[in-house]
Homo-oligomer: A and B are copies of this chain.
Amino acid sequence: MGAAGAETKPVRVAILGASGYTGAELVRLLLGHTGVEITVLTGNTQAGQEFSAVYPQFHYAKDLPALTRHEDHDWKDVDCVFCCLPHATTQEIISQLPEHLKIVDLSADFRLKDIETYAEWYGGEHKAPALQAEAVYGLTELARDDVRGARLVANPGCYPTAAQLPLIALLKAGLILKDDIIIDAKSGTTGAGRAPKQGTLFCEVSDGINAYGVASHRHAPEIEQGLGEACGSKDVVVNFTPHLMPMSRGILETIYVKLADGSTVEEAKAALEKAYAGERFVTVLPGAAVPHTRHVRGSNHVFMNIVADRLPGRAVILVSMDNLVKGASGQAIQNMNVMFDLPETQGVDMAPMFP
């Protein structure tokens, strides 16, 4: 957030549900974005408080608006809304926002295009099906043109972002099989949110690891939707096994795939390099270098590589990403930039923070 260029007016931004981690991360990133101005921060249970009372790292940022209730705004001073509200509550609130607003929704409400799949996985009928039909799934690198014209962007889930970037490229190139994809994912604990739960207490998470949601995590159908579109099939099913890690940020996915008949790992790597040549935020690592979550921390970068398996005809894809940046708030800003014709990297081109 800073002095915009003389010739353009800043995009005026509201963050709904700013008291969660993705809200705070949006604030962190937008404070360094020279083309926007944060005008509204809502947090209904903490309305009336300074934002620094909720996130003390912003004690120095005297210009931030205090938290307010979203019902208390007429949105005339806002151009863009980032919606960080919980799943299911989001759809109703968004459907009542005025038409002039462009919206990036970080919840899962508009990600699944099939209304029945949504109902099955999220436990109820969708309350804004017309909006859902209109929403663009904002995996920016793969949907840039659609995002540009969108009013409502469904920002992808963190796990699906990391999984789809390599897998869609390889499926489109016909280099891997769609029927035997195993995604072993390891996530930082911010992914579980800031609401106090026993399972995310320091003493329950530190110095250990465990799987959770095996064969039942809601990001599985989101991944399958993207892969299905990539290979023109409605029947893609994947294994998706997430693990909770003692790290605050980061996702590593180790993806086990079968190569298509006659394909090689070298061809697959070349396909990834070609698909993401020129992309600022996707780097295919050289040689046998493996992606570390630490090496993308705090940034919008995705690091990936593919290597041969010991099992003949198989390969291992490795992808790392910061779940709060490219997996949430960073990609959301990337999408906003595209929607408002700003340079796509503006405000999200910071270097990773290591160590």
Q: Which residues of A contact B (CB under 8 A)?
A: 21, 24, 27-29, 31-32, 55-61, 179-180, 182, 184, 186, 188-190, 194-198, 200-212, 214-215, 220, 237-241, 243, 245-250, 252, 254, 256, 280-281, 283, 285-286, 288-299, 301, 303, 307-312, 314, 316, 318, 320, 349-355
Contacts and interface: CB of A to CB of B under 8 A. Distances in A.
B209 A245 contact: yes
A32 to B, nearest CB: 6
B200 A250 contact: no
A280 B351 CA distance: 22
When all copies of this chain in the complex are counted, the total is 4
Contacts of A248: 202-203, 206-207, 355
A203 B21 contact: yes
A57 B352 contact: yes
A59 to B, nearest CB: 5
Contacts of A243: 186, 252, 254
Q: Secondary structure of the A side of the interface?
A: loop
Contacts of A289: 56, 59
A182 B290 contact: no
A209 B353 contact: no
The 8 A-B pairs of least Cβ separation, nearest first, read A208-B294, A196-B196, A203-B355, A210-B292, A57-B295, A202-B205, A57-B352, A184-B184
Contacts of A184: 184, 254, 256
Given A28-B353, A209-B252, 20 more contacts: A31-B351, A32-B349, A57-B296, A57-B299, A179-B311, A180-B311, A190-B203, A194-B198, A202-B205, A210-B252, A210-B290, A214-B290, A215-B310, A238-B311, A239-B316, A240-B310, A256-B256, A298-B298, A298-B353, A353-B353
Contacts of A182: 182, 256, 311
A188 B251 CA distance: 18
B238 A310 contact: yes
Contact of A308 (B190, B215, B312, B314): B215
A350 to B, nearest CB: 6
Contact of A207 (B197, B207, B303): B207
Contacts of A299: 57
A247 B194 contact: no
A200 B202 contact: yes
Contacts of A220: 310
B351 A310 contact: no
A310 B216 CA distance: 8
A246 B202 contact: yes
